[in-house]
Amino acid sequence: MNQNAITIALAGNPNAGKTTIFNNITGTRQKVGNWPGVTVEKKEGRVHKFGYDLKIIDLPGIYSLTPFSIEEIVARDYILDQCPDVVIDIIDASNLERSLYLATQLRELGRSKVLFALNMSDVATARGYKIDADKLSELLDVPVHATVGNKNQGVEDLLQKAIELAVSDTAPSRHRKVRYSNDIEAAISELETLLTPHMEHESPYDPRWASVKLLENDKVVVDRLPTVLPTDALDALMSKTASQRQTLQARYDEDPEIVLTDERYGFIAGIMKEVFSTSSRRRIDTSRNIDRVLTNRFIGFPIFIFFIWAMFQLTFTLGAYPMDWIESGVGGLAALIDYALPDSLVKDLFINGILAGVGSVIVFLPNILILFFCIALFEDTGYMSRCAFLMDKIMHLIGLHGKSFIPMLMGFGCNVPAVMAARTLESEKDRLLTILITPFMSCSAKLPVYIVLAGTFFGARAGTVIFAIYLLGIVIAIVSGRLFRTTLLRGADAPFVMELPPYRVPMLKSLLIHMWDRSKMFLKKMGGVILVGSIIIWALSAFPRTTTFTHDYPAAMAHIEAAYAEKTARADAEDQPALEKEKSERLLEVQRAMRAEQTANSFMGQIGQGIAPVFAPLGIDWRGGVSLLAGFVAKEIVVSTMGVLHAVDEEGSEALREALLKSGMTPLAAFSMMIFVLLYVPCIATVATIRKETNSTKWMLFSVGYTTAVAWVMAFVVYNGGRLIGLA
């Protein structure tokens, strides 16, 4: 073990500035992953400073150490089991009273040495708050240091203090803990006496703390004690606990955990009286004033809709420019490869497999960057919490609260980050429910499919039809939400206080980091999956190679070449370009026919014939079926696969429209296919994310099955219903 190694954990309320301070300390030397077994993000960084090897851990943001949420359990278990040398509690000085709830609990834990950072001290000062840091330090017997995280003020000193504390040989101090009323203290010491003999060595628990937790019936502690205590001691302890809980219950006419919580708040109120004062000429809280407008009952909602509209507007209009550049870049690269390589399978793989697939994803990068920038802006200014607040009532229709709205909103952009965003929900059930209904929010990759189908079959009414599709997705999400809430995921939504953190002017750097963090994940996931998927689809449509065609295509092409060579020789100079164009068009036609035959005979074609009966009742032919199947890789691929199967080159082009009209598809069938695309299994990247975020293959399969079943039934009902009432 390295003599100079020190582990420092950062704890604190959400938004207290942990990550900011973590970034200040570790810079870029970070490792981001998940805590083992759960989907709570773990950030770890290592630096060498002041002659020590420091390992810094950014613990999940929590308000207390009760095991009510995964975050709380993760943070608490980490402190108990890993016993970091120092825990720095990042206190939000502008919210001192609330922060102290966690601070006192950390102090009670009694294992690690604790240090308080009074962060956001600039905000506190601006609001006219005065905090007596020395007094606070004295009362809780913990060193206290003021910081301004976003300006990197005091962070270096904080770190130095933490190191001093870590290397000093004073044990974590044992007195001046929260003191409870006499009855409770008596109960605590009774249990403590029973526990102490068994808790000397390997146990992670401080006996007093464990006793308090037993009185509170803390499920994690109760579950783990059997591994620490011998059976007879355990039995004695548990029966003692039960009788003590009963006594307290009778005396206070309240669950002991509630009494203990009340007493902690009482203790905190006492501390507040001693250390906190606010100047009489306190500046009017600007946040509250802004909130008067933005969360106003009447104008709050229109403003919110406007912001969302502006976000999508910005995403698509501003994003269109770089999208064009990337498109022409990809096109140029394809042309270059076409020119550089001789005709071969490898060239075909590069152009029609890899470049077509990956290229179709890369073009969405600008949109995604802009979308995530806007979302980071909403988050960092504090507006996102107001959105959640505004949507709360509506979301209750589904049995969810406003916070679930954020993932669903992001779903319109891309389901991958949307499913990830569900992490912010406290309750496991809420999180699951949100993840299950988010895929019904029509993601941006499905839009090209609607544009092609609605544009072809509905002409001027295309816009309305697409709007109806989006609306249908929302309705299905609401209905599914209600359904799950009353069956699989029964239970009331977890009670929770809607946080309204103060508005802040965002820092560009932090906006960019947030934006890039998310986009990077997107690129990595989509990039890998898309690459593999594109190659598979390409291979399925390229093999087996057709060797005997029904027509002699090469001969037909040679014939065209010869015919035009003759015509060109005879024509006038000014007619040459027109002839040249005519020639290449006719050649293309033959090539397309040849490619179509190849595809129809390929594995893909065979699969298409195999699955045709599944899609026939929905009015979708085998080509549509194969395209939908390919869409599992990414929804963009639906359009390009249709292009391949109808043997046209550019996707979304006039040629595809003509081919679709000729294929015998009716408007009703097109509508049915759009519904299917809207509702059926999300893309493979989303499915993988669902697996990761729910940590359960079962729920992943459920999501896949449910969405696809709903899609089939809805398309079936619409298609056959439409035919019954005489729509074609």
CB-nearer residue toward ligand GDP: 29 or 176: 29
Complex with ligand GDP: residue 16 or 441, whichever CB lies closer: 16
- Residues 574/577/582/588 CA torsion (nearest 10 deg): 170
Is 481 one of the binding residues for ligand GDP (CB under 6 A)? Answer: no
Minimal CB distance to ligand GDP: which residue?
Answer: 149
Return d(Cα 562, Cα 420) in angstroms, integer: 60
Q: Which does 262 bind (CB under 5 to 8 A by kind): ligand GDP, Mg ion, none?
A: none
Token pair in block for residue 309: 């509209």
Q: Tell me the closest approach of the beta carbon of residue 616 to ligand GDP, in angstroms.
A: 53
Residues 6+ apart with CB under 8 A from 535: 349, 353, 354, 357
Residues 299-358 that bind ligand GDP (CB under 6 A): none
C-alpha dist (Å) from residue 342 to 112, 131, 201, 337, 339: 68, 75, 73, 9, 8
CA atoms within 13 A on the CB side of 361: 27
> Considering the complex, what minimum distance in angstroms separates the CB of residue 19 from Mg ion?
3
Residue with tokens 């090897």: 53
- Nearest distance in Å: CB 117, ligand GDP: 9
Nearest to 398 by CA among 481, 473, 477: 481
Residue closest to Mg ion, measured at CB: 19
198-257 residues in contact with ligand GDP (CB under 6 A) are none
Smallest gap from Cβ 30 to Mg ion, in A, equals 12
Report the DSSP pairing between strands 30-34 and 52-58: unpaired
Q: 382 or 473: whose CB is closer to ligand GDP?
A: 382
14 makes contact, choosing from Mg ion, ligand GDP, none, with CB < 5 to 8 Å by partner type, with: ligand GDP
For residue 481, give the nearest of 545, 421, 546, 404 by alpha carbon. 404
Judged by CB under 6 A, the chain residues 362 through 391 that form the site for ligand GDP are 380
Count Cβ atoms below 10 Å from residue 510 Cβ, excluding itself.
17
533 binds ligand GDP (CB under 6 A): no
Identify the three-state secondary structure at position 180. Answer: coil
Interface with ligand GDP in residues 142-171 (CB under 6 A):
148-150
Of 19 and 519, nearer to Mg ion (C-beta) is 19
Query: Which of 364, 361, 360 lies closest to 315 in space, CA to CA?
Result: 364
**Shortest Cβ 45–Mg ion spacing (Å):** 13
Token digits of residue 291:
């909130």
613 preceded by a cis bond (ω within 30 of 0): no
* 10-69 residues near Mg ion, rule: CB under 5 A: 19
Nearer to ligand GDP, 47 or 557 (CB): 47
Determine the residue type at 406: I
Residues in 391-410 at the binding interface with Mg ion, rule: CB under 5 A: none
Using CB under 6 A as the binding rule, whether residue 510 contacts ligand GDP is answered as yes
Q: In a 10 Å sphere around its CB, with 0-12 CB exposed, 13-18 middle and 19+ buried, how is residue 330 labelled?
A: middle
Is the CA virtual torsion 94, 98, 104, 105 positive or negative?
A: negative
Size of residue set near Mg ion by CB under 5 A:
1
The secondary structure element, H or E, covering residue 410 is: helix 405-411
CB of 16 to ligand GDP, least distance (A): 4
Q: From the list ligand GDP, Mg ion, none, pick the one residue 119 interacts with, judged by a Cβ distance below 5 to 8 Å according to partner type.
A: ligand GDP
- Residue 435 binding: pick among ligand GDP, Mg ion, none (C-beta 5-8 Å cut-off by kind): none
Residues 107-136: x where in contact with ligand GDP by CB under 6 A, - otherwise, as a string: ------------xx-xx-------------
As a whole number of angstroms, the distance between CA 500 and CA 493 comes to 19
Please state, as a whole number, how many other Cβ atoms lie within 10 Å of the Cβ of residue 88.
32
Show the binding pattern over residues 6-25: x = contacts ligand GDP (CB under 6 A), - = does not. Answer: ------x-xxxxxxx-----
Report how far residue 225's alpha carbon sits from residue 227's, in angstroms, rounded to the nearest whole number. 5
Closest approach, Cβ 118 to ligand GDP, in A, equals: 9
Query: Would you tell me which residues interact with ligand GDP (CB under 6 A)?
Result: 12, 14-20, 61, 119-120, 122-123, 148-150, 380, 504, 507, 510
Query: Would you tell me which residues interact with Mg ion (CB under 5 A)?
Result: 19
